[in-house]
A and B are shown apart, each in its own frame.
Chain A
Amino acid sequence: GENVEQHPSTLSVQEGDSAVIKCTYSDSASNYFPWYKQELGKRPQLIIDIRSNVGEKKDQRIAVTLNKTAKHFSLHITETQPEDSAVYFCAASVFGNEKLTFGTGTRLTIIP
């Protein structure tokens, strides 16, 4: 089955700086890669996703890049703000299989 690794497990950045979280996946058939933000005790919230037919997607301060050859994808958050502090999860799935396999999570702390 699919295996998704995520690094780093914790990340602290100064407010206004950029944060980068990286994930690798094992199943070359995976073609959908969402990123979720989860605050303590809350549901995961989809913040951005990318499909395998594109290499990069951006939504305001958030961007995701995908390298299918290397089987890795990354989340980039620019101009970080205190409200960006949360746990972030990457995930991967094969369309049609429907199952999401989650990474282990990254606890992002923005230092004011």
Chain B
Amino acid sequence: GAVVSQHPSWVICKSGTSVKIECRSLDFQATTMFWYRQFPKQSLMLMATSNEGSKATYEQGVEKDKFLINHASLTLSTLTVTSAHPEDSSFYICSAKTGNNYEQYFGPGTRLTVT
């Protein structure tokens, strides 16, 4: 149980285009989802927290107009990287939790390469 999927697993896009990444909780309802970014050989950095039906809360320094997050249902959150640039190339990981549980369940990650 508690499986989180992400799609796509990897994507290459041209500079200036937009890319959408999906995060799904497959067997539970995710009241809260999180989006992280991880650069090579670095730690996970939280980008934003989203609750179903509410606007996402972004961490300091994360541009909300560039990284659009939508949490339209209890099983799906999307991250859209708009006007992508090479510096946006990274490993994007989502996680989800439900109710009052402590544990977050992580997706397999999406490797984004912007050329």
Interface residues of A (CB under 8 A from B): 32, 34, 41-46, 49, 51, 89, 93, 95, 98-105
B residues adjacent to A (C-beta < 8 A): 32, 34, 42-46, 49, 91, 93, 95, 97, 102-104, 106-109, 111
Chain A residues with CB below 8 A from B49, complex form? 98-99
Question: At the interface, is chain B mostly helix, strand, loop or mixed?
Answer: strand
Contact B32 A98 (CB under 8 A): yes
B97's closest neighbor in chain A, by CB? A98
Bound-complex Cα distance A41 to B92 (A): 11
Instruction: Determine if A89 and B44 form an interchain contact, defined as CB atoms under 8 angstroms apart.
Output: yes
Closest approach, in angstroms, between the C-beta of A18 and any C-beta of chain B? 24
Whether A34 and B43, one on each chain, are in contact in the complex, defined by CB atoms closer than 8 angstroms, is no
- Excluding A41-B111, A98-B34, 12 further A-B contacts by CB distance (< 8 Å) are A34-B102, A43-B93, A43-B106, A44-B44, A44-B106, A45-B106, A51-B102, A89-B43, A98-B97, A100-B46, A101-B46, A102-B44
